[in-house]
Structure 1
Amino acid sequence: MNFSIITSKIFILFILILNLNIFAQKKEFDIAGNWEMTDFWSNKSATVFTNDGYISITINGEKIDGKNFIIRGGPHDSEKGEMKYVINANKSPIQIDVIALKDNIEKGRILGIIIPVNHTKILMLLSFNGKRPKTMNDENFEQTLTLYKRE
């Protein structure tokens, strides 16, 4: 065999391996599914992120159904609302917004960040002051939520 043919084949093989490696690293972040959320004090909540953008959560045995939850208190007491989420995986850390809606009108937004640990565990930090957290650190450690995928 000719040296240039061997070199060409090695070069093509190298490019194929490099492309496969790059493709494998660009897996899309997917939060959809059933999760168990745990806070700093080990309180647990069942949490569901649906493929169509709704979030449902169970807190102290009370389920808040993202598609059809009943508002408690305030001027809209006993009326129907919705809770949705939006993910921006192109940011680092990943950004999440939890959005409260009534009659398709946004009534509030909780800003947060997500740090994936592995395919079944993520860390999430939500802010209720209208400012998105930049990072998880010692100052906000107690507010960090740990989510474990149940499926």
Structure 2
Amino acid sequence: MKSHIKILLLILIVVDSSSYSQIKKLNLVGNWNMTDYWGNKSDFILSEDNYASMTVNGEFIDGKSFIIHGGKNDGQKGEMKYIINYEKTPIELDLVAMKENKEMGRILGVIKLINENEFLMIWSFDGKRNFDFSENNKEQIMTAKRKG
């Protein structure tokens, strides 16, 4: 009886560690081409040190250092970082605006993987994560393809 328990525990440990390794194998760090519903394209870069850079309306925003346009922080220096939770389904990817190491705002994102080089993404700007990847929400869905 005790040997059956040991075997069961061993199987559980192997299954748990293999699912963890599958999560760790996926790596979204790198350069991506993003395309929205209307065909607008932008660069989207996730760095190893958790900075996010992107093109918005033709302007490249360097996540490590950019100038804030508008609002009470107009003209000041900011940073943009990202946080990924691979353990959630769909994967959660949040963009975090930082100023002087303080969080100033957050854009909530979810990712639906197509394969390791392509995913669908929805950004939420209202503080509520949008999980709707259906045809009814197609205007909110962006497609990302890994460069190179």
Q: TM-score, normalised by structure 2?
A: 0.82
Helix, strand or coil at the partner of 1:116: strand
Select the residue among 45, 49, 54 that pairs with 1:48.
45
Q: Is there any run of 5+ residues in structure 2 with no aligned partner, and where?
A: 1-10
**8 Å CA contact 2:117, 2:145 repeated in 1:** yes
**Residues 1-150 of structure 1 correspond to what in structure 2 (within 5 A)?**
26-28=22-24, 29-150=26-147
CA offsets, 1:4-40, max 9 Å, x none?
A: xxxxxxxxxxx9xx98xx57x8152211100000000
Kindly report structure 1 stretches of 4+ aligned residues shifted beyond 3 Å: none
Amino acid at match of 1:26: Q
**8 Å CA contact 2:23, 2:87 repeated in 1:** no
Q: TM-score, normalised by structure 1?
A: 0.81
CA offsets, 1:43-74, max 9 Å, x none?
A: 00011100111100012331101000100011
- CA distance in 2 between counterparts of 1:74 and 1:149 reads 33
Amino acid at match of 2:118: K
Amino acid at match of 1:145: M
Helix, strand or coil at the partner of 2:136: coil
Question: Quick one: structure 1 residues 74 and 123, their matched pair in 2 at CA, closer, same or farther if it must change by over 3 Å?
Answer: same
Percent identity among equivalent residues?
47
Helix, strand or coil at the partner of 1:73: coil
Amino acid at match of 2:131: K
Helix, strand or coil at the partner of 1:139: helix
Between structure 1 and structure 2, the one with the greater Rg is: 1
Provide the alpha-carbon RMSD of the alignment: 1.9
**8 Å CA contact 1:93, 1:135 repeated in 2:** no
Size of the aligned set, in residue pairs, is 132
Q: Is there any run of 5+ residues in structure 1 with no aligned partner, and where?
A: 1-14
**8 Å CA contact 1:38, 1:147 repeated in 2:** yes
